[in-house]
Amino acid sequence: MTNPILELRDVSAEYGPFRALFGVSLTIEPGASLALLGANGAGKTTVARVASGLVSASSGSVFVDGVDMTTKRTYEFAQAGLAHAPEGRSVFATFTVEENLVLSFRRALGRRGVPAAVEEAYALFPRLGERRRQIAGTLSGGEQRMLSLARVLVEKPRLLIADELSLGLAPIVVDEVYETLSSIRGTGTALLIVEQHVHHALELCDEVALLDHGTISWRGPSAEATEAVVNHLFDSGDR
């Protein structure tokens, strides 16, 4: 039997005196995809940060492929094959598109791996290839999100943790981003999608977990999630 690529066991997390998570348990199997949905302030981003080692659990345990990572550093989560695409744009604004890619890929792949990785990034997001000499800070919000995604997707993580990818983006750009995520999933990368864009998340993911005030209130197959999601959003007023 294979171990889950990610397992949170009864995880709680705090920001100073503020407790954000209360005994959250989740598992994601290799190659599977889970959508984590919930209202603003439910704790979704905190789950993403705990899962990638950016925030330490105050209690409970975090396992990656059966290895206890609870006290490990963020870079050790990355070495284990987890990649985190946070909300926001996360690019070097004064560098060109290509300089952003080269800088990331040289660190991860070494100098010899850079040319092929850059071309793969342009294949994933052709719009970036058209703007390779453009300063990243002058790209549209959607193009900057594509650039930040390309920097992690080319490295083929075992699990991609994507936080609010659709936030502030035009619908046509959201469609393009999710098409790329679908193709990446087809290569075997597992996905944890933290999202408020319910329609895309349900189409992409096998399972859904609803987070409510720092606790999991429901989990099940995407095909059975519609009524639970609607009821949850109606009760929370986040419609």
| CATH number for the domain harbouring residue 22 | 3.40.50.300
Q: Tell me the average pLDDT across 144-153.
A: 86
**pLDDT at residue 239 is higher than 50:** no
- How many domains does one find in the chain? 1
pLDDT digits (tens, 9 = 90+) for 11-62: 999 998 899 999 999 999 999 999 999 888 899 999 999 999 999 999 999 9
In this predicted model, which residue has the larger pLDDT, 61 or 146? Answer: 61
pTM of the entire structure?
0.86
Q: Flag whether pLDDT at 166 surpasses 60.
A: yes
Residues pairing with 63 in the sheet: 7, 68
**Residue 33, helix vs strand vs coil:** strand
Rg of the chain over all Cα atoms, to the nearest angstrom: 18
Structure tokens at 135: 């300063």
Is 47 within the bounds of a domain? yes
pLDDT, tens digit, for every residue of 178-222? 888 888 888 899 999 998 778 888 889 999 999 999 999 999 998
Among 80-89, 210-219, 220-229, the range with the most confident prediction by mean pLDDT is: 210-219
188 burial type by CB count under 10 A (0-12 exposed, 13-18 middle, 19+ buried): exposed
Using a 10 angstrom Cβ sphere, with 0-12 exposed, 13-18 middle and 19 or more buried, the burial of residue 136 is: buried
Task: Answer yes or no: is 105 within a domain.
Answer: no
Asked, for residue 143, whether it belongs to a domain, the answer is: no
- Rounded Cα distance between 53 and 51, Å, is 6
Sort 145 into a burial class: Cβ within 10 Å, 0-12 / 13-18 / 19+: buried
Range of the domain at 52: 6-90+151-236
- In this prediction, residue 63 has a pLDDT band, given cuts at 50, 70 and 90, of very high
Residue 75 located in a structural domain: yes
Residues in the chain, overall count: 239
pLDDT of 133 > 60? The answer is: yes
